[in-house]
């Protein structure tokens, strides 16, 4: 028996038997519905169930028409911030990320946009969150408070108010945020926590969802060997298949969250690309974006820093992101009060999530229909490559540096 996650569509029973193509994809192909009208009238209703299954139970679950995807539960872990000793002292400038992305001169503030942060929780008493309604849910089982500090820093970068005259939030007009604690205070979690949190955020109509974690393939394989006595080859095989199953489930759930009814517009998912590259060791020591950032429909975000000849890609930032954002020397809220500077693609993801909220407000205020795909299109189309040092290219920074509405590339 092993622990598995079942992703169900609670509305599957409302569908008549004659099939036509519906948006999304199941474990074995397209999700089917009987007419295009029903595609629009009966939305996806994702629900996650975590159960212990035998091999026979697993085969039976695969035949259940409500089950859209199945994955073996596996550990997740925080994308850890990088040490500040690799950053130049003058990179830790207050608000440089807001200036680089044009958020500091944007007339919009993210007002009216609901965001969700899937991380280590937040310090709800921090001055950065005054005036923000924080709806919190502890999926990790360690309490809503952020004893780690990562989630507080990320959330404040997205929508924090100024602290002691220092601007830290990209979208400081946001007044409604969902805070899902999916990682314990030591930065560990599991995919069942993550998928439950995504369903929760979608059900609460988050417009933008930000994540800074990764599937812990190596840690899972090691646990199977050390705690369960698996041979190394078998443990590696089980961990790899679990990784693939979870990536497929993430893609399916992303489709379901994006393909909401016409009155909701869907959720845009953004994830940190990862901090696994080591360009200071060797220029060839580059690692591709990790999951869930690598999943379909997810905007993966790499990190950039100031450089003498333009913006540089951070030496730790994983390659092949969708786009890039400031992620070195980022000053934001510290759990317990005050401010601190951190490096990482998590900080970059927070900048991009704040900019996504600005684009959502832009669409709403200009009379356009606000959808996840519409926000994504604005993020992609407005990104600029003009500011990067010549030694970097699209493999390093994707479509370019994320830009706020009205930003003017220099």
Convert the pLDDT of each residue in 25-36 to its tens digit: 343 344 444 444
Convert the pLDDT of each residue in 11-21 to its tens digit: 766 655 544 33
How far is C-alpha 171 from the geometric centre of its chain's CA atoms?
17
Question: In percent, how much of the chain has pLDDT > 90?
Answer: 76
Record the tokens describing residue 57, joined without a space: 């139970």
Where in the chain do CATH 3.40.50.200 domains reside?
75-216+243-397
Convert the pLDDT of each residue in 357-386 to its tens digit: 999 999 999 999 999 999 999 999 999 999
Sequence-ordered strand ranges (E) for 16-171: 20-25, 30-33, 46-53, 67-72, 75-78, 114-119, 133-138
Q: Kindly state the average pLDDT of the residues 244-253.
A: 93
Residue whose C-alpha is closest to residue 301's, from 368, 367, 353: 353
Output the 3-class SS for 86-116. Answer: HCCHHHCCCCHHHHHHCHHHCCCCCCCCEEE
User: Which residues have a catalytic role annotated?
Assistant: 119, 150, 346
| CATH 3.40.50.200 holds for 75-216+243-397 | yes
What value does the mean pLDDT of the chain take?
Answer: 89
Report the sign of the C-alpha dihedral through residues 398, 181, 62, 256, in that order. negative
pLDDT at 11: 76
57: which DSSP letter?
Answer: H
Q: Kindly state the average pLDDT of the residues 307-331.
A: 93
pLDDT at 272: 98
CA gap 303, 157 in Å, rounded:
14
Convert the pLDDT of each residue in 80-128 to its tens digit: 888 765 555 455 788 899 999 999 999 999 999 999 999 999 999 999 9
């Amino acid at each position: 028996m092993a622990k598995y996650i079942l992703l169900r569509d609670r509305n599957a029973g409302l569908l008549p038997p004659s099939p036509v193509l519906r948006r999304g994809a199941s474990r074995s192909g397209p999700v089917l519905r009987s007419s295009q009208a029903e595609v629009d009238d009966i939305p996806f209703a994702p629900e996650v169930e975590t159960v212990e299954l035998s091999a026979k139970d697993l085969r039976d679950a695969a035949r259940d028409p409500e089950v859209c995807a199945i994955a073996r539960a596996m550990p997740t872990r925080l994308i850890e911030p990088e040490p500040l000793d690799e950053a130049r002292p003058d990179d830790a400038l207050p608000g440089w990320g807001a200036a680089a992305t044009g958020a500091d001169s944007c007339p919009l503030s993210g007002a009216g946009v609901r965001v969700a942060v899937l991380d280590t929780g937040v310090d709800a008493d921090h001055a950065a969150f005054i005036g923000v309604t924080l709806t919190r849910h502890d999926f990790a089982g360690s309490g809503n408070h952020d004893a780690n500090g990562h989630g507080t820093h990320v959330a404040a970068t997205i929508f924090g108010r100024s602290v002691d005259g220092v601007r830290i939030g990209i979208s400081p007009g946001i007044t409604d945020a969902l805070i899902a604690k999916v990682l314990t205070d030591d930065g560990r979690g599991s995919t069942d926590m993550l998928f439950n949190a995504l369903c929760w955020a979608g059900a609460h109509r988050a417009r933008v969802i930000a994540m800074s974690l990764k599937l812990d393939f190596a840690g899972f394989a090691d646990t199977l060997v050390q705690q369960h006595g698996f041979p190394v080859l078998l443990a590696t095989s089980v961990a790899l298949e679990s990784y693939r199953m979870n990536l497929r489930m993430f893609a399916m759930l992303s489709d379901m969250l994006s393909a909401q009814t016409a009155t909701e517009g869907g959720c845009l998912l953004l994830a940190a690309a990862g901090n696994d590259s080591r360009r200071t060791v060797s220029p060839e020591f580059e690692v591709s974006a990790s999951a869930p950032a690598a999943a379909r429909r997810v905007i993966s975000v790499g990190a950039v820093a100031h450089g003498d000849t333009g913006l540089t890609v951070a030496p730790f930032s994983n390659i092949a992101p969708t786009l890039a954002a400031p992620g070195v020397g980022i000053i934001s809220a510290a759990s317990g009060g005050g401010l601190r500077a951190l490096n990482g693609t998590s900080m970059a993801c927070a900048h991009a999530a704040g900019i996504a909220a600005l684009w959502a407000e832009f669409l709403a205020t200009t009379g356009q229909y606000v959808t996840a795909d519409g926000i994504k299109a604005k993020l992609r189309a407005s990104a600029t490559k003009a500011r990067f040092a010549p030694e970097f290219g699209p493999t390093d920074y994707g479509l370019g540096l994320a830009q706020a509405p009205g930003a003017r590339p220099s």
